[in-house]
Structure 1
Amino acid sequence: MKKLIISFLLAAFVLPMQANEGMWFLMHIERLNYRDMQKMGLQLTPEEIYSINHASLKDAIVQFNRGCTAEIISDSGLVLTNHHCGYSSIAELSTAENDYLTNGFWAGNQGEELKPKKLSVRFFVRMDDVSKRILNLVNDTMTEAEREATINREIAKIEQENNEGGKFTVSVKSFYQGNEFYYFVYQDYNDVRLVGTPPASIGKFGGDTDNWEWPRHTGDFSLFRVYADKDGNPAEYSKDNVPLKPKYHLTTSIKGFEENDFAMIMGYPGRTNRWMPSGGIEQNVKYAYPAWVEASKTSMDVMKKYMDKDQQVKLDYASSYASTANYWKNRQGMIDALTQHKTAESKRKDEQAFQKWASKKENKKYADVMSVINNYYSKTNENSRHNNYIGLLLRTRMASIPYRLGNDINYYLQQNEAKQAEMKPKLDAEIDDFYEGLYLPLEKDVLAAQLKLYSTKAKDIAPMVAQAASANNKTEAGWKNYIDTAFKNSIFETKEKVQAFMAAPNAAILKDDPLFQLSTDLMTRYRYKSEEEKQLDNDFEHAYRLMVEGIRLQNPDGKYYPDANSTLRLTYGKVISLPEDKRNDANKNYYTTLKGTVAKYQPGDDEFDMPKKLIDLYEKKDFGQYADKDCYLPVNFLTDNDITGGNSGSPVLNGKGELIGLAFDGNIEAMAGDVIFDDQLQRTINVDIRYVLFLIDKYAGASHIIDELTLAK
């Protein structure tokens, strides 16, 4: 891990705005941000960015498969996102014989495009503020449970009122820790097909070593297409479906850009915690994140052992491994960054200033807020460690499948014959889904390793695990023997054994099944809350909400933005360098080139291998129209936009709203960005759109895709 050389400029409570800080609602752009954006180089009107009645930029930005962002880049529904966002779908479509993940894939025409089983995109239609409507129904005499129940009843009404008979998906979200509420209207399309992807040696070039690092040389993109019925409406997959004609698609710029040029990003950032108190930061650094890191590495080590031996296993577990590895490095980076910069200590000073304000007679409503919050964290530190160990354990498929599937089977057994006949096809499909791509030797070893870790590192563990740990002396061999015996005697060992059980189901056998009992024990412990814990949660939620309310009241003229929560946001900044880095051959340290990519080439290496054709194109300098004016082929570049997980695949747009790249990562120096934005260190790592087009055109020979695009030259 690199040493971080610049201190955080921390002032989280009053949130003084740097020009590039903030994840902003589109409906607030005109009031809060437009003048700043104009000064920095924006040439669009607010209406061209977000309009309810007319086509605008927001109509080209989609949430991709609920976890990433993508953009529509042609009038035939062509979708661009990151390679790592399409990774699971590409892996699903791959086999050892047709390994698209390793070798790449390019559909020669729309008839060759491939449909994954489950893949969707979500279009944002509109949003509105319903804070007054909801908050008028609650008061401070309610418990948090009563408050939540009241709010949820009203949310259900709002969602029903705005879904137009099921045409739209409506979601009401809480912001500022429950001090504001907005509803969001979406339209979902479920027929999304793979159009093209580079090989992993391009799309994942640098692997885990380069992840979160700069300089970077990754072609992190993939292409899909949205299909609809003949009238343009969402429809399940059908050969009769046609490419969607979108309301708006992005113009793609190959004109290039310079340092300090305006750059904005629109997307669906997943989660930030910029309002988190010092106690929460300290808890994560000392208790929660270390457990996450250790448990993640435990799973990764076992998975890799089996993935290296079998290509089909590698494909089946590629997405799971990549996701685990990404968070493993992220959490370790967070620990290092937050520790080195003493973020909790700095935030505690701001809390002391807030407490001084809250102690005034006129602010007595907020007088006890910080003491309640600090008490909560001091009493839940160990539980946060436990919950991360058991949470990662429950991500092991065979730790959770018996519980989930067993309860569905148990419910099925309680129904009458007619109801069972109605439920059976869905249950059969569920069984197929649970076991698809499951490799039993890997699953057993991961489960044994995670149980050993959990039983030795966590306190107050699940009773059945504690009993088993005592019986086998907590040794690796003991846990393997325990797991082997449990699987051998369980109906959940294989899909075939479950299907055989369903031919003559017996509730007593299910109840006594060892894997069902273990899985139920783990899930029950994970969800357990003592009465004291419930009261702590209640008091904390109330105090946290008051803290945020008080901070905003303390400085009513401040420009605030809510934490990210997978709703569409806009962030703006500029193309900008990091300090000079001798590892980067580029003239300025805000971009990288294909020359630097080739310099990293290591034949046969999992992370730094390269296709020969790409090397040949480099040696011939056959860059086509995609070379920079200075004759190099750009690969990645930096901006200082404020993003987080979920922004992967987001479009990077110039002042005209033209596509110049897509975001795919951040730099490890600013790994604490989910908690505090650092104006000096925060960087977004992006794929230059010229590199994307070069790979499509010159490398893949898929010029028909280029022909679809609207290019600005």
Structure 2
Amino acid sequence: MNRWPALALLAVTISSSALAQENLELGKMWTFERPPLAYLKDEYGFAPTAEWFDRLRLASIRFGRGCSSSFVSPKGLIMTNHHCVRDGITKVQGGNDWVKDGYYAKSLEDEVRVPDLTVQQFVGREDVTARMNEGIAPADDDATIAKKRAANQAAILERAQRDNPGLQPQVVTLFQGALFELYLYKVYDDIRLVFAPHLQTSHFGGDPDNFCYPRYCLDFAFMRAYADGKPVDTAAHYFRWCTGGVKEGELVFVTGNPGTTKRLLTHAQMEYLRDLWHPMQQELVDNRLRIRKDLVAKDPSLERTLRAEILSIENSQKAYRGYWDGLLDQSLMTQKIAAEKAFRARIDADPALKAKFGDVWDKLAQVAERRRGLEARQRFHTFGGHPVLALAVDVIRAGRAETAEARDAAAKRARDNAAAIGTIAELTRTEFLDHVARAKRWLPANDKWLAAVLDGRTPEQTADAFAGTELLDRQKLDDVLARIGKVWDGPMAVELVIAESIRPLVDAAVKEAQELQRIEETQGARIGQALFAAYGTSVSPDATLTLRFSDGVVKGYAYNGTIAPPMTSFHGLYARHTEFGGKHPFDVAPVWLERKDKIDLTKPMDLVSTNDIIGGNSGSPLVNANLEVVGLVFDGNIEMLPNRYVYRAETPRSVSVHVDGIMEALKKAYDAERLVKELLGQSK
């Protein structure tokens, strides 16, 4: 294991890599096993060594389940975004409101362990493509291929765990299944809160400024990894602090775990997403946000409970809108059509490649057409987000099970779910009613799911019936489970009648979705293989929430008829506060007003660079060529969002907190002397 390629061998791929980047808009989310060395040399005159890549990789860590972070001291100190730790802080703040008011541990003893939080360090890898494809025959259908790959993956993971005790293995799918990598992670599960600023400091400008720039946020937090009750020794792999940061035009790198891009999708697949998936998803997210804000407006005491969820949904709302806008942009789709045309022309020009891959685009177009017919059923032939309906379906499954094993499993699931439901909250009821309303919009009037759920009732009457269910009473649930498989005497509860009717609809939608997914996986892998045949393997794969690095430069951009500066300063923070009269969300935290005369207003706060990022990069370090940390990625501009589908470089930007802004806050707003000394290498 721990196999990293000889870097000199990779330099020969520059011509194919550069050509693929030019024609296919695949972006610059490079893997560590296939770094584009010749491209870096040609573009920047920069020639990193194997040691450089090792240091970059080992200091960069995956944070929790969807963020990035890095080690920034020899004592396990971790830097990430405040918005990546909010949920964790709510678990440990008790009667305090550390999310809103901030927290600073003045000593190691004050550092607070956050439960259910891990960070993962990428320490080894192996190409397992051949092992994942072992036993697969050319004549195998999609279901057989999926089954064989699942068995191969299980065997690979079992062996990896046996051969590498203490490490966590993960099989990573690259290029839609054309390549498979086994990644090994060292996992730290004792992570403690060291510092978090005020929510308003990290989230200044709120939703209006989200995905925008110029920006005036200090979205940072510090945690620490522990092992055996002591801070982890990270002296061999951490990023030094670069006081003064960077200048415009300087080469910088982002390392992190970008979550999802879909740049290898075909034009037909993107059209389906544009026309059906995104409109339905946007409506769902918009309504979820409205429902929560309405609840808080009616009962302000819910604000603290729903705060983190509202902030998260606001972020998703704007992100999905930006992704969809990209697909609605005719220039972007024209760019995709041209790239696909060039790709197909290369395949068709070679008779052998045409015979092997020429039909793959048509096959995926057929799947996209079938998805158009499935999308509404897949979304709405469900339990509507209501736990009682899900419970009722489990009860029906137990009664209709063909084997004792299946019956017992469904009954156990029903009992476990019933015990976990508790009181039916108003939020659950309101979201179910919203589900029905959206279903009536997207499904045909004679749809069987709607007929079963309503059946002469109003949606509110159905929701009332769910709220009054007897299935949450353990004794009555056991009685129903005992009777359900036999001839039922007397009336059946509304939720069970509905469950009986919708169960086959739910199962049919799931079955068809799984079938289409298997076809997409098989044909998507062929797209990846065709890509290699046409352009070589040194291209950037789609994001997979695994460690990547991206090159770029610090650079402003043209927007809104003017120019955005490469950096903002504290001057702008206070000006924005004044211009909005100190009204939320443009109000600075009180301590910043009290100490304004101590703040060096010329210090930079945020900056933009041309690095390729997407959701999952939150918390990524921004480092210079000397591997010194110069910033902390916390966002991208609104122009970056369409890069989910087609990479463009002119105006999309990564937005980072500047290290000097962080240091100014720690020193002058928060008196965090212990932390300052540790970051600057002055602590003992």
- When normalised by structure 2's length, the TM-score is 0.84
Deviation at 1:682, TM superposition (A): 1.9
Structure 1 residue aligned with 2:650? 680
Match in the other structure for 2:546 = 567
Match of 1:707 among 665, 670, 677: 677
What letter corresponds to residue 278 of structure 2 in structure 1?
Answer: Y
List per-residue Cα deviations over 1:586-627 (Å, max 9, x = no partner): xx6111122212222246744222212212333x1x23xxx5
1:484 to 461, 464, 474: 464
User: Against the structure 1 CA distance between its residues 684 and 369, is the aligned structure 2 distance closer, same or farther, given a 3 Å change threshold?
Assistant: same
Q: 1:471 to 1:69 in 2, by over 3 A?
A: same
Give the count of matched residue pairs: 649
Letter in 2 for 1:644: I
Of 642-651 and 247-256, more deviation after overlay is shown by 247-256
Aligned to 2:8: none
Q: Distance in 2 between matches of 1:583 and 1:371?
A: 44
> Counterpart amino acid of 1:47?
E
2:232 is aligned to 244
Cα distance in 2, alignment partners of residues 21 and 187 from structure 1: 28
* Distance in 2, Cα, partners of 1:316 & 1:195: 23
The Cα shift of 1:322 comes to 2.3
**Do the aligned partners of residues 616 and 461 (structure 1) sit closer, same or farther apart at CA in structure 2, a change above 3 Å counting?**
farther
Question: 1:241-640 alignment to 2 at 5 Å?
Answer: 241-246=229-234, 247-310=236-299, 313-359=302-348, 361-362=351-352, 363-388=354-379, 396=385, 398=387, 402=391, 440-459=425-444, 463-472=448-457, 478-492=458-472, 507-508=481-482, 525=505, 528-529=508-509, 537-556=517-536, 559-579=538-558, 589-601=565-577, 602=580, 605-618=583-596, 620=597, 622-623=598-599, 627=600, 632-640=602-610
1:160 maps to which residue? 158
Corresponding residue for residue 641 of structure 2: 671
The question of 1:48 aligning with 2:57 is answered: no
TM-superposition CA deviations, 1:117-163 (whole Å, max 9, x none): 32111111111212233335323211122222222222223222322
Distance (Å, rounded) in 2 between the aligned partners of 1:647 and 1:400: 37
Counterpart of 1:471 in 2: which secondary structure? coil
Match of 2:662 among 669, 686, 692: 692
- Judged with a 3 Å threshold, the aligned counterparts in structure 2 of structure 1 residues 191 and 333 are, in CA distance, closer, same or farther, namely same
Whole-Å separation in 1 of the counterparts to 2:428 and 2:540:
43
Q: What is residue 149 of structure 1 aligned with on the other side?
A: 147
Alignment of 1:49-88 (within 5 A): 49-50=53-54, 56-88=55-87
User: Is the 1:290–1:332 contact (alpha carbons within 8 Å) kept by the matching residues of 2?
Assistant: no
Write the letter of the residue equivalent to 1:316.
T
Change (3 A) 1:345 1:461: farther
Write the distance in 2 (CA, Å) between the matches of 1:260 and 1:58. 24
Gaps of 5+ in 2: 1-16, 486-491
Match of 1:612, as an amino acid? P
For the 8 Å contact 2:26–2:540, the answer to whether it is kept is: no
Normalised to the residue count of structure 1, the TM-score between the two structures is 0.81
State the shift of 1:461 in Å: 9.6
Distance 1:276 1:667, change over 3 A: same
String of CA shifts for 1:484-539, please: whole Å, max 9, x gaps.
Answer: 221122445xxxx56x878x776258997766886898787555348877665554
Paired with 1:199 and 1:452, the residues of 2 have a C-alpha distance of: 39
Other structure's SS at 1:337 match = helix
TM-superposed CA distance for 1:379, in Å, is: 2.5
For 1:600, the aligned partner's letter is: R
**Distance across 2 between alignment mates of 1:404 and 1:286:** 32
Question: After superposition, what is the alpha-carbon deviation per residue over 1:57-91, rounded to whole angstroms, capped at 9, x for unaligned?
Answer: 32221111121001112222222111111121123
**Contact 2:258–2:548, Cα closer than 8 Å, also in 1:** yes
Using the alignment, how far apart are the partners of 1:610 and 1:669 within structure 2? 27
Separation of aligned partners in 1, 2:331 and 2:446 = 31
Aligned partners of 2:672, 2:298: CA distance in 1, in Å? 33
The answer to whether the 8 Å contact 1:12/1:274 transfers is: no
C-alpha distance in structure 1 between counterparts of 2:397 and 2:38, whole Å: 49
Would you say 1:216 and 2:195 are equivalent positions? no
**Maintained 8 Å contact 2:176/2:524:** yes
Instruction: Measure the CA separation in 2 of the matches of 1:12 and 1:372.
Output: 28
- Measure, in 1, the Cα distance between the counterparts of 2:364 and 2:41: 38
Q: For the Cα contact (< 8 Å) 2:26–2:647, is it kept in 1? A: no
The aligned counterpart of 2:99 is 101
> SS state of the match for residue 663, structure 1?
strand
The secondary structure found in structure 1 opposite 2:367 is: helix
Post-superposition offset of 1:640: 0.4
Asked whether the 8 Å contact 1:34–1:46 carries over to 2, the reply is no
CA distance in 2, matches of 1:257, 1:218: 18
Tell me, in whole angstroms, the C-alpha distance in 2 between the residues paired with 1:88 and 1:375: 42
Deviation at 1:16?
2.2
> Could you tell me which amino acid in structure 2 is paired with residue 276 of structure 1?
L
- Secondary structure of 1:614's counterpart equals helix
CA distance in 1, matches of 2:366, 2:331: 21
**Counterpart amino acid of 1:452?**
A
In the other structure, the counterpart of 1:237 is none
Structure 1 gap ranges (5+): 1-10, 51-55, 230-240, 473-477
1:8-46 Cα offsets, whole Å, 9 max, x none, are xxx999432899941111122275555247625x7x533
Quickly say closer, same or farther: Cα 1:671–1:71, change in 2 above 3 A.
same
Taking the aligned partners of 2:540 and 2:172, their CA distance within structure 1 comes to 14
Paired residues of 1:63 and 1:267 also in contact (CA < 8 A): yes
Paired residue secondary structure (1:326)? helix
Query: 2:393 touches 2:503 (CA, 8 Å); kept in 1?
Result: no
> 2: distance between equivalents of 1:456 and 1:543?
33
Instruction: Tell me by how many angstroms 1:571 deviates.
Output: 0.5
Partner of 1:39: 45
Structure 1 residue 655 displacement after superposition: 1.5
Compute the RMSD of aligned alpha carbons. Answer: 3.8
Is the 8 Å Cα contact of residues 651 and 661 (structure 1) preserved in structure 2? yes
- 1:697 positional shift: 2.6
User: Aligned equivalents of 1:659 and 1:408: distance in 2?
Assistant: 55
Aligned residues of 1:287 and 1:382 also touching (Cα < 8 A): no
User: Deviation string for 1:99-131 (max 9, x for gaps)?
Assistant: 112222222222223333321111111112122
Sequence identity, in percent?
A: 21
User: 1:209, CA displacement in angstroms?
Assistant: 1.1
1:655 maps to which residue? 625
Q: Distance in 1 between matches of 2:168 and 2:445?
A: 41
AA paired with 2:595? Answer: L
Deviations 1:441-474 (A, max 9, x none): 22222222222222332359984443224523xx
2:126 to 125, 128, 135: 128
Q: 1:453 to 1:99 in 2, by over 3 A?
A: same
